[in-house]
């Protein structure tokens, strides 16, 4: 189907042209504006204590500035994190200051907010992987079906990520392999039925997930691997390539750097090294976690400093919007990755 990303002999393509996702992970929150659910940059971006924008126009301008900066840095794909769903006595909801948007009651508002954000991303000719809350419960299943139906013909969405890191976020401990296969087969059927033109994936955190969520047995179109530890990343990439039996890409990686405990020079060298590992082992995409540092006292060093932008100084984006934070040297490496030796690989970055 024209404009949609598809797999051909284990490689992503769009309109017969090879597509290599250079993806950045980006967190969002729903905000109440009037009676609308507006999808906003996460509160911790820029000044992590407040939201910088409040009207719909301001929120969209800030989102537009962030996406424009990502595009300028060389990214062609965004993993939009929509899995931040909570639960109370009424049901499942997306939290918002002053309002809770319930999946079962506010479906149209939520889908409208997502649609507006996708339109901004589409204006930069970028693709989106939507990270969803796993539809274990009937309420999330119903919402997921409505979402898949609503965006079935939207070619900005290249893939749906139905679950982030089963090792850490599965609702059941010690799940049997056959149970995981049954669940993912049902999700596969859901995706085929309601979103036949988009791809279906799961993000895996470590090879030891194989004992419950075995990537070689699960009927996904491709897998994403999340690999961070600089001492293990080569062996983990090798293991997935040799044993998963499916096309694969990195969905999340980063070397946290604050230019004190870990120097910024180490972070940008890490970008180069990881990209070469992926190409050499046959990977078909790379994703970075995440857009900006998330400085929170109760979080560990890795969680605080994985961004490509710190929280100091200011940066003027291509749209002329000034954001809080300064680009780390690693941010400039992604636009250079096409110059790497891909050896026998035919993969090109578009």
Other C-beta atoms lying within 10 Å of the C-beta of residue 263: 13
143 close to 160: Cβ distance less than 8 angstroms: no
Distance CA 257, CA 330 (A): 10
| DSSP β-ladder status, 11-14 and 5-8 | antiparallel
Q: What does the pLDDT average to over 32-54?
A: 94
Model confidence, pTM: 0.95
How high is the pLDDT of residue 350? 52
212 close to 166: Cβ distance less than 8 angstroms: yes
pLDDT tens track for 130-139: 999 999 999 9
Two tokens at 331?
């941010």
Helix (H) or strand (E) holding 93: strand 92-96
CA atoms within 13 A on the CB side of 215: 31
pLDDT at 339 over 60: no
Q: What percent of the chain has pLDDT over 90?
A: 90
Two tokens at 73?
């840095």
Cα distances from 263 to residues 194, 228, 289, 335, 343, in angstroms, run 46, 16, 17, 21, 30
CA atoms within 13 A on the CB side of 302: 9
Q: What does the pLDDT average to over 276-282?
A: 94
Cα distances from 244 to residues 163, 204, 250, 272, in angstroms, run 17, 11, 13, 24
Q: What percent of the chain has pLDDT over 70?
A: 96
Distance CA 172, CA 152 (A): 30
Q: What does the pLDDT average to over 69-96?
A: 96
Two tokens at 333?
């490496």
pLDDT at 298 over 60: yes
- Residue of 346, 228, 308 whose CA lies nearest to 24: 308
How high is the pLDDT of residue 265? 97
Other C-beta atoms lying within 10 Å of the C-beta of residue 65: 23
* Letter string b/e over residues 165-202, b meaning 16 or more CB atoms within 10 A of that residue's CB: bbbeebeeeeeeeeebeebbeebbebbeebbebbbbbb
How high is the pLDDT of residue 303? 87
Two tokens at 26?
């980006």
158 close to 194: Cβ distance less than 8 angstroms: no
3-state secondary structure of 317: coil
Looking at the DSSP bridge assignments, the partners of residue 26 are 80
Distance CA 19, CA 127 (A): 10
How high is the pLDDT of residue 296? 82
Q: What does the pLDDT average to over 196-217?
A: 97
348 close to 337: Cβ distance less than 8 angstroms: no
8-12-17-19 Cα dihedral, nearest 10 degrees: -170
101 close to 30: Cβ distance less than 8 angstroms: yes
pLDDT tens track for 90-112: 999 999 988 899 999 999 999 99
- Residue of 144, 207, 211, 219 whose CA lies nearest to 181: 219
């Amino acid at each position: 189907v024209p404009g949609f990303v598809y797999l051909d002999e284990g490689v992503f393509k769009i309109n017969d042209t090879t597509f290599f996702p250079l993806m950045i992970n980006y967190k969002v929150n729903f905000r109440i504006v009037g009676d609308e659910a507006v999808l906003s940059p996460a509160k911790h971006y820029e000044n992590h204590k407040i939201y910088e924008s409040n009207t719909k126009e301001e929120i969209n301008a800030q989102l537009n500035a962030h996406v424009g900066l990502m595009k300028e840095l060389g990214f062609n794909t965004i993993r939009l994190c929509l899995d931040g769903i909570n639960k109370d006595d009424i049901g499942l909801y997306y939290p918002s200051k002053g309002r809770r948007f319930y999946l079962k009651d506010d479906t149209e508002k939520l889908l409208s907010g997502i649609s507006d954000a996708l339109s901004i991303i589409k204006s930069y000719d970028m693709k989106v992987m939507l990270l969803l809350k796993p539809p274990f419960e009937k309420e999330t299943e119903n919402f997921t079906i409505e979402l898949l139906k609503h965006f079935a013909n939207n070619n900005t969405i290249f893939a749906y990520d139905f679950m982030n890191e089963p090792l850490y976020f599965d609702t059941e401990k010690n799940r049997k392999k056959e149970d995981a296969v049954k669940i993912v087969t049902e999700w596969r059927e859901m995706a085929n039925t309601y979103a036949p033109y988009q791809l279906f994936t799961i993000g895996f955190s470590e090879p030891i997930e194989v004992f419950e969520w075995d990537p070689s047995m699960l009927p996904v179109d491709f897998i994403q691997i999340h690999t961070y530890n600089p001492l293990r990343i080569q062996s983990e990439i090798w293991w997935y390539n040799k044993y998963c039996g499916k096309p694969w890409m990195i969905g999340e990686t980063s070397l946290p750097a604050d230019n004190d405990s870990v120097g910024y020079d180490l972070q940008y060298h890490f970008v180069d090294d990881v990209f070469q590992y992926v190409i050499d082992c046959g990977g078909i995409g790379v994703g970075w976690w995440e857009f900006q540092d998330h400085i929170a006292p109760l979080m560990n060093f890795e969680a605080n400093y994985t961004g490509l932008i710190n929280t100091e100084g200011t940066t003027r984006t291509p749209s002329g919007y000034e954001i809080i934070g300064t680009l780390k040297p690693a941010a400039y490496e992604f636009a250079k990755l096409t110059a790497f030796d891909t050896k026998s690989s035919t993969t090109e970055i578009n």
